[in-house]
């Protein structure tokens, strides 16, 4: 049974595409045949993050308009053979997406893929609504600041009312919170909302906390999703999140300020001297 996951947030720049790329890679690495679809028509980014921008010939809109078939548009990932990317069109806008067209493409993908990851555009307009419309589960990407939290809250409202599952009266979409760009240090200083602040407002299960990390920008620029950078904190956090998504019991990390024995020893020395 194919599972369709939407990565959404409402607000822009919180890490939807980074999360879509890393999640798709994470699922494919586990052996699941995965497709990641860029719904951000007109602001194509996923192909850059995935490092396949030079191989884009046909796109999502071409497939919807029957100008190309799905196999022509799907791009095989350079690292993992189980992973395919369906890029967005850069020259069209979101009105090029239709409910019937999206339904058809997703149905076609369902025949061969285990997971379909839908990278939603920012906002609550057509693109974002279609990205979530057919989803079985949603990963709500949130930054620890008030406007991002409020926008996520709005998206959760839409997820429970403006999706096919809601309209059909089936079981509701499973919701997951992914808190990104988290800095325990800044939380301690009171500059940032804490995990419990966000949890109190959104009140949905926590999938993971991705720490603010230099590795993310580096990964985006090089076109290798950060989850492949296994030594980085953000990469490890995404690996944990994928494991939790698949039902494994992994304890949360990167929530408290790091205090390893070496640092503690140095602090202790300082205090003694």
* Sites of contact with other proteins (CB under 8 A): 124, 150-151, 153-154, 156-158, 160-161, 200-201, 203
The rounded distance, in Å, linking the Cα atoms of 11 and 146 is: 11
Cα–Cα dist 256/249, whole Å: 19
Q: How far is the CB of 221 from other proteins (least distance, A)?
A: 34
Q: Give CA separation, 71 vs 48, 76, 136, in Å.
A: 20, 10, 24
Query: What are the phi and psi torsion angles at 170 (to 5°)?
Result: -80, 180
* Cβ at position 155, least distance to other proteins in Å: 8
> Quick one: 149 or 210, whose CB is closer to other proteins?
149
What's the rounded Cα separation, in Å, for the pair 189 and 265? 23
Closer residue to other proteins (CB): 171 or 231: 171
**Considering just the CA atoms, what is the radius of gyration of the chain in Å?**
19
Rounded to the nearest whole angstrom, what is the least distance from the CB of residue 56 to other proteins in the complex?
35
Smallest separation, CB 176 to other proteins (Å): 15
**Nearer Cβ to other proteins (132/158):** 158
Taking the least distance from each CB to other proteins, the nearer of 175 and 224 is 175
Sign of torsion over alpha carbons 157, 178, 12, 118 = negative
């Amino acid at each position: 049974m194919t599972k369709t996951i939407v990565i959404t947030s409402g607000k822009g720049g919180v890490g939807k595409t980074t999360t879509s790329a890393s999640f798709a890679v994470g699922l494919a690495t586990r052996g699941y045949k995965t497709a990641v679809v860029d719904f951000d028509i007109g602001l194509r980014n996923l192909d850059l993050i995935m490092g396949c921008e030079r191989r884009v010939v046909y796109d999502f809109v071409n497939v919807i308009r029957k100008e190309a078939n799905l196999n022509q548009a799907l791009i095989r990932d350079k690292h993992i053979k189980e992973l395919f990317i369906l890029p967005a069109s850069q020259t069209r806008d979101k009105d090029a997406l239709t409910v019937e067209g999206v339904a058809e493409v997703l149905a076609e993908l369902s025949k061969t893929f285990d997971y379909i990851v839908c990278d939603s555009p920012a906002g609550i307009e057509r693109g974002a609504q279609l990205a979530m419309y057919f989803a079985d589960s949603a990963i709500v990407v949130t930054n620890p600041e008030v406007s991002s939290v409020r926008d996520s809250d709005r998206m959760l409202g839409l997820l429970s009312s403006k999706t096919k599952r809601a309209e059909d009266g089936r079981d509701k979409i499973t919701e997951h919170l992914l808190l990104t760009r988290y800095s325990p240090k800044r939380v301690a200083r009171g500059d940032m909302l804490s995990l419990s602040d966000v949890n109190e407002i959104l009140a949905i299960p926590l999938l993971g906390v991705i720490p603010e990390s230099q590795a993310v920008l580096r990964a985006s620029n090089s076109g290798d999703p950060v989850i492949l950078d296994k030594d980085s904190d953000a990469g490890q956090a995404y690996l944990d999140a994928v494991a939790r998504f698949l039902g494994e019991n992994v304890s949360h990390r990167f929530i408290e300020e790091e205090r390893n024995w070496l640092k503690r020893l140095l602090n202790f020395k300082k205090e003694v001297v």
